[in-house]
Amino acid sequence: MDGEVQIEYHRYLNPRGQPGVGDRFYLEVINSLPDKVERVALSKRSDGEYVDLPQPLIDISFDPSDRKFAAIAKLTGTPVVNATDSDWVNAASTLKACGIEVENLCGCDKSKWFEE
């Protein structure tokens, strides 16, 4: 299905009231900077998994909602940028073995992600 990444982000938007930072970023990119967005076609296998998703990630039950991002990273060679999604840290060794680079903005020590 085309537009899966856009659909994923749109699901978390709050269209009413004052937009949050994420809402503003999404709308700015989609509405104002379409030439800065590269659309990547993701093919699926007959079982519904992405062609470019390495089998070891399926084998470890990597989060289904994150699989599209891993498949895009593998297909394009572009790193995944992660803020505080622990799935990317938990699967770090498998992702690395599959040639998928992840840049963790908040580091890999999950205990420090939400310190004040």
pLDDT in tens, 58-108: 999 999 999 999 999 999 999 999 988 899 999 999 999 999 999 998 887
pLDDT in tens, 13-45: 766 667 777 777 777 777 777 777 778 889 999
Rounded to two decimals, what is the model's pTM? 0.79
Same domain for 35 and 47? no
Same domain for 60 and 114? yes
Measured CA to CA, the distance from residue 104 to residue 60 in angstroms comes to 20
Same domain for 29 and 53? no
- Range of the structural domain that residue 28 is part of: 1-39
Length of the chain in terms of residues written: 116
Region of residue 109 (phi > 0: left; psi between -120 and 50: alpha; otherwise: beta): beta
- Residue 24 has a pLDDT of 77
Same domain for 53 and 5? no
Measured CA to CA, the distance from residue 74 to residue 67 in angstroms comes to 10
What's the domain count of the chain?
2
- Residue 107 has a pLDDT of 80
Same domain for 48 and 89? yes
